Chain A
C-alpha cells in the first residue's frame, strides 16, 4: 500500500453580478446534474428544492429608475475561523454528524443516509441554502413525471424523504476529475479540471470557480476587487462564495446595514 500526501484545497466561487443576466440556467443545470426533485407545484418555495437559488432584488426606485438585479445563491460553504472556534453554522448544530467541513477541499458535505431530518441545520443556515425533502423524490408517490427517472445521473445519490440536502459544489465532479487524473497517473487535478455544473453552464460566464488557496488562480485575483463582497459578512461565517458588483445598492443589500452606514468591502 502506498501513501500519498494530500494537498489541501479551499474551493470557492466568485459570481460576477454585473455579468449575471438572471436567466436561471445555473438552477436548471444544477437540478439536472444533481438529480434534484421537482414537483408539480414549484411555486411553493418553502417546499421546493433548489441547491442554487436565483434571487431577484431591486433598487426600490420609482419608474423609470427601477433596476432589478439577480444573484444566484449556492451553498456558501462557510469556513471555520482557524482558531478552532467557528464552524459553519450548520455543521456545529448537526446532532448526527451528517454534515461536515471537509478538511481537504473546504466543501461542506451532506450525507443523506446519515441525516436524521431534524432540520436544525436548516434553521441554523443564515443563507437558506438547505432544503428538506418533504416527499420522496421519485416513483413511490409519483411526484416526478413517469419515465423521468431515466435521466437520473448515477453520480449523485437520489434522496429519500425526510432528509436535508444542499449544494455540494458538485463534489462528484471533483471525484470524477480525480479519477481521470488517476487514470493518467496523477494524484492531483489541474485547476480547471473541476468546476461545478452551474459555473460550466452559465452562458454569461458570470461564475468563476477555483482553489482560493492557489494565489495564481483567477478566483484569488477576483476577490481582491473593491467590488467583491460576501453575504452577511459580519456573521463571520466566512463564506467561500464571493460576489462582485459595481453597484453600491446591490452591495448594500448583502448585509444588514444601518441607514447611512457605509458599505464595506471584504478587504475593508
Chain B
C-alpha cells in the first residue's frame, strides 16, 4: 500500500504535470481577466504621454503691451501670457513704429527671459580668477555695502562707467548724473552710427536733436552700406517700409540703391547694387553731388534760400573761402570717383541723375545695423546730398528733429566735495582739443587705460553693455579691463564682460522692468517709448535705476543730494512731466493714421491732466507727434548763418583749438569745414594683402544682447557649421589662395587671429574677407559659447578724422589655410 499511496500522493502533489496545469489555469484565467489587455492599453498610453515630456499648464490668456528695448529700434510688442507665464511675443498693430511686425531677435526675447543658464539669478561676487567665471551668491545688502564702501573711498576721477543704454534714456541720464555727482565725467557711451550722424547734423544744422529718415514716403533710397534689411534702425519699421515700396500700388515706382561691397540681403533685394570699395562711399556721394551740381539738378530754392557755404564766399576778414560747389566740381569728377570707388563712371552719373530727379529721394548712412560708429565726413556728405535736393525736413527726406521736450533733472548741487574732475579731461579724450565734437569716444578707453603703469581709473561700472565682446579690437579692451582694479557689472546676462567683473548686480531683463526710449534710431518723427514690466521678476534681480538711486542715498553727500527721488520710476515721471507740459503729444495710436502719413496731425492729445497722460503712457507705451511737415525750414537751422551750412561755421570756429594733426593730412582748412573724402588706408602692407569687412546679419544678434537659441535655427549652413562660422570670400580671390568651399583658414590681422571656414560666395567683392559679427562668444551657455569666430578680435584700423571714432570696416588681413 505504501507504494500505491505514494504514487497517489505523488500524483496529487506538485509534480511537473500539475505545475503545468496550475500555470495553464493561471494563463487561461489571466487571459479571461482584464489584466493583460488593460496593461497593454495603459502602457501604450504611457508611451504616448511620457512623464518627462512637460505638459504646459493651461490658464487664462492675456496680452501685456510693452516696448522692445533689445535694440535702439523701439518696436511695440505684446506678450501673450497664460496666467503668469509669458508664452509668446508678438508685434503690436497699435504701435506706429512697427505696425504688427517684429524682428527675429525681438521674437526670440522670451528665451532671454527664461534661460536660467544665461542669466544671473542674484547678486554675486567674484571668488576665483578674473575671467574664470566663478562667483559666489551674496545678498543685495552685502553687494550694496561693498559697492558703497569702495566708491566712498575713491578719489576724483577714479570712477568711470560704460553705458550701453539707449541715448537719452532715463537710465543713461541717471548713470551720467550719478557719475557727475561724484565728480567724475568719465561716462562713456557705447558706439553707434546714430551718434556720428547726430554730430554731423549738429555741425551742419546746429541742432542737437536726432536725425530721422522718412523712408515710408520716399521714392528713391540711396543707402550707403546701411543694412536696411539687416537690422538697421528699427528693423521691423524699415522692413515694413520696404514692403510699402514693394506693394502693388508702388511696385516699380520706388527705387532702392544699395552701396555695399557684398551682396547682402539688402543689396540683393535692392533695385540697384553698387559695390563701392569700402571706405570710399564719401567719394561716391560727392561724385554724385558733382553730377547733380554740374547738370543743375539741385534744388535751387533750398540752396539759394536756406543754405550757406554752397558758393564760394568772402569772410568778414576779407579772406576768400572755397564753397561746397567748387570743392565738389574741382575734386570729385565722376572720372576720379570711379577710380576711387571702383564703380563705372556712367553708373555714378546715372545714379546721381535718378536721385536728383526722384520726387522724394533720401540718402541714408550708418553701416550694417548702425550699432558701430559711422564716419563723420561721410555722414556730413550724406546730409549735404540730401540738402542738395532739398530733402531736409521734407516728405520723403531727412528729418532733423528738436530734442524731445522732456523735463530736465534739477541742477546738480554745486559744492561737489569729491573733486573737480568735471573740469578736467575725460579718459576717452572726447571733447578734448583733438576731438572737440565727440561727447564720448568708447574706442579710446582701452588705450588710455593701457598707457601708464597703473590704470587711471579704479572702478568701472558697466551697464547694458558687453564691451569685452562687442568692442572692435576687443582683445585690447579685455587687456585694459584686466588692468582695472574693480569692475562692477549690472548685466542680467552672463556675458563676457560680466565674467571679468568683481561684483555682479544683475538688472532685470527687459521684460521685467520699466525703461524708456528716446526717438528710436532713424525714426523721422519724435517718439518717446515707455516699456513696462510684463512679467514679475523671476529672480533676485533689481532694476539698475533703483540700485543707482539707493546707492547714491547710501553714499550720501553730493550723490545723495543729486537723487531726491524714491525710485527710478519717479525719475521717469519727472522727465515725462516735460512731455505733458509741451501739451501737444499723442499717447495712443489707432493703427490707421501713421504719424508719417498724409492725414496730418490729430489736434487733440486726448488727456487733460498729467495723471491721465501718465496712465495712457503706461498703458500704450508711447508719446509721439505727427511728422511736422509744416515746420518752417527757416527756423530749424541754429547755425551762425541760420541756414544749412555746407561749410560748417562750427568747425571753422573750433579750428583754432583743434589739434590739426588729427585731421586728414590732405585736407586744407577750407575742406576741413566741408564734407570731403579722405582716403584713410589701413596700415596694411604686403604681409596683409586682403581686407576684412565685418558684416551684420539680421538673424544674428551682434550687440550686447546675444542670439536667443531660436535664432540659431535661422542661420544657414553656409554661416555656421558645428562650432565654426564661415567667412564669405569671392571664388576668384579664394582661387588665388587655393581655398575651397569649407576649408578651414586662419585670418590674421595686426590685432590678432581667428579661425573660420571658407564660404565661396560670388556676391563677395574680390579681395575682401567678409566676417559676420555676432559669432564667437566665450560666455553664456552651450547655445552660444564657442560658436564661430568674432571679427572684433582682429579689427584693426585707423581713426576717423575729426570725430576720433574708430574705422572698423577696413582691417588688413592675411589668410592661411589650415
**A residues in contact (CB < 8 Å) with B:** 16, 18-19, 21-25, 27-29, 31-33, 35-36, 38, 40-45, 48-50, 54, 56, 58, 60-64, 66-70, 113, 136-140, 145-154, 158-160, 197, 200-206
Contact with A along B638-657 (1 / 0, CB 8 A): 00000000000000000000
Q: Is there contact, CB below 8 Å, between B53 and A136?
A: yes
Distance in angstroms between the alpha carbons of A47 and B98 in the assembled complex: 34
Distance in angstroms between the alpha carbons of A31 and B110 in the assembled complex: 12
Q: Is there contact, CB below 8 Å, between B53 and A159?
A: yes
Distance in angstroms between the alpha carbons of A35 and B111 in the assembled complex: 12
The 5 closest A-B pairs by CB, nearest first: A203-B101, A24-B714, A147-B116, A66-B763, A152-B56
Q: Is there contact, CB below 8 Å, between B762 and A145?
A: no
- CB contact under 8 A between A154 and B57, given known A25-B104, A146-B115: yes
- CB contact under 8 A between A204 and B242, given known A24-B698, A35-B56, A160-B50: yes
For chain B, residues 545 to 566, give those with C-beta under 8 angstroms from any C-beta of chain A: none
Contacting residue for A204 out of B85, B101, B764, CB 8 A: B101
Q: Is there contact, CB below 8 Å, between B116 and A32?
A: no
CB neighbours of A201 from chain B (8 A): 90-91, 101-102, 107
Contacting residue for A63 out of B48, B110, B242, B762, CB 8 A: B762
Q: Is there contact, CB below 8 Å, between B713 and A145?
A: no
Q: Is there contact, CB below 8 Å, between A27 and B114?
A: no
CB neighbours of B55 from chain A (8 A): 154, 158
A137: min CB distance to chain B, Å = 7
CB neighbours of B102 from chain A (8 A): 25, 201, 203
Of all chain B residues, the one with the shortest Cβ separation from A62 is: B762
Q: Is there contact, CB below 8 Å, between A40 and B711?
A: no
Of all chain A residues, the one with the shortest Cβ separation from B718 is: A56
Distance in angstroms between the alpha carbons of A158 and B53 in the assembled complex: 7
Interface residue B246 (Cβ < 8 Å from any Cβ of A): yes
Of all chain B residues, the one with the shortest Cβ separation from A20 is: B269
Q: Is there contact, CB below 8 Å, between A200 and B722?
A: no
Q: Which of B100, B107, B761, B782 has the most CB of A within 10 A?
A: B107
- CB contact under 8 A between A28 and B713, given known A19-B243, A201-B101: yes
Q: Is there contact, CB below 8 Å, between B116 and A63?
A: no
Of all chain A residues, the one with the shortest Cβ separation from B761 is: A66
Contact with A along B239-276 (1 / 0, CB 8 A): 11011001000010000000000010100110001010
- CB contact under 8 A between A29 and B50, given known A69-B268, A145-B116: no
Q: Is there contact, CB below 8 Å, between A31 and B101?
A: no
Of all chain A residues, the one with the shortest Cβ separation from B788 is: A43
Contacting residue for A38 out of B50, B107, B713, CB 8 A: B713
Q: Is there contact, CB below 8 Å, between B110 and A202?
A: no
CB neighbours of B765 from chain A (8 A): 63-64
Of all chain B residues, the one with the shortest Cβ separation from A31 is: B710
List 15 extra interface pairs beyond A67-B268, A147-B116, A151-B86, CB under 8 A: A21-B242, A23-B103, A28-B104, A42-B712, A44-B722, A58-B763, A63-B763, A64-B263, A145-B781, A148-B116, A153-B56, A158-B54, A158-B56, A200-B91, A203-B236
**B residues in contact (CB < 8 Å) with A:** 48-50, 52-59, 80, 82, 85-91, 98, 100-104, 107-108, 110-111, 113-118, 229, 235-236, 239-240, 242-243, 246, 251, 263, 265, 268-269, 273, 275, 538, 698-699, 709-718, 720-722, 730, 732, 761-766, 781-783
Contacting residue for B87 out of A23, A136, A152, A200, CB 8 A: A152
Instruction: Pull 21 A–B residue pairs with CB atoms less than 8 Å apart, ordered by A.
Output: A21-B698, A23-B235, A23-B698, A23-B699, A27-B714, A29-B90, A32-B88, A42-B720, A43-B712, A43-B722, A48-B713, A60-B762, A63-B732, A113-B49, A139-B53, A145-B118, A148-B709, A150-B85, A197-B88, A203-B236, A205-B100
CB neighbours of B118 from chain A (8 A): 145
- CB contact under 8 A between A153 and B263, given known A19-B246, A203-B98: no
CB neighbours of A205 from chain B (8 A): 100-101, 240, 243
Q: Is there contact, CB below 8 Å, between B53 and A137?
A: yes
Contacting residue for A145 out of B117, B722, B732, CB 8 A: B117
Q: Is there contact, CB below 8 Å, between A151 and B104?
A: no
B724: min CB distance to chain A, Å = 9
- CB contact under 8 A between A64 and B113, given known A151-B86, A205-B243: no
Q: Is there contact, CB below 8 Å, between A28 and B714?
A: yes
Q: Is there contact, CB below 8 Å, between B54 and A42?
A: no
Distance in angstroms between the alpha carbons of A51 and B135 in the assembled complex: 40
- CB contact under 8 A between A22 and B229, given known A66-B762, A113-B48: yes
Distance in angstroms between the alpha carbons of A267 and B782 in the assembled complex: 49
CB neighbours of A68 from chain B (8 A): 263, 265, 268, 763
Q: Which of B89, B235, B710, B764 has the most CB of A within 10 A?
A: B710
CB neighbours of B764 from chain A (8 A): 63
B253: min CB distance to chain A, Å = 14
Distance in angstroms between the alpha carbons of A154 and B82 in the assembled complex: 8
Q: Is there contact, CB below 8 Å, between B89 and A32?
A: yes
CB neighbours of A42 from chain B (8 A): 709, 712-713, 715, 720
Contacting residue for B104 out of A19, A27, A153, A197, CB 8 A: A27
- CB contact under 8 A between A202 and B717, given known A23-B229, A28-B108: no
Of all chain B residues, the one with the shortest Cβ separation from A143 is: B782
Distance in angstroms between the alpha carbons of A66 and B764 in the assembled complex: 9
CB neighbours of B239 from chain A (8 A): 21, 23, 203-204
Distance in angstroms between the alpha carbons of A18 and B110 in the assembled complex: 30
Distance in angstroms between the alpha carbons of A148 and B59 in the assembled complex: 18
Contacting residue for B710 out of A28, A61, A150, CB 8 A: A28
CB neighbours of A56 from chain B (8 A): 716, 718
CB neighbours of A69 from chain B (8 A): 268-269
Q: Is there contact, CB below 8 Å, between B53 and A148?
A: no
Q: Is there contact, CB below 8 Å, between A32 and B107?
A: yes
Q: Which of B55, B100, B783 has the most CB of A within 10 A?
A: B783
B772: min CB distance to chain A, Å = 13
A61: min CB distance to chain B, Å = 7
B232: min CB distance to chain A, Å = 12
A205: min CB distance to chain B, Å = 5
A160: min CB distance to chain B, Å = 5
Distance in angstroms between the alpha carbons of A148 and B764 in the assembled complex: 38
Q: Is there contact, CB below 8 Å, between A203 and B56?
A: no
Distance in angstroms between the alpha carbons of A62 and B766 in the assembled complex: 11
Distance in angstroms between the alpha carbons of A139 and B116 in the assembled complex: 13
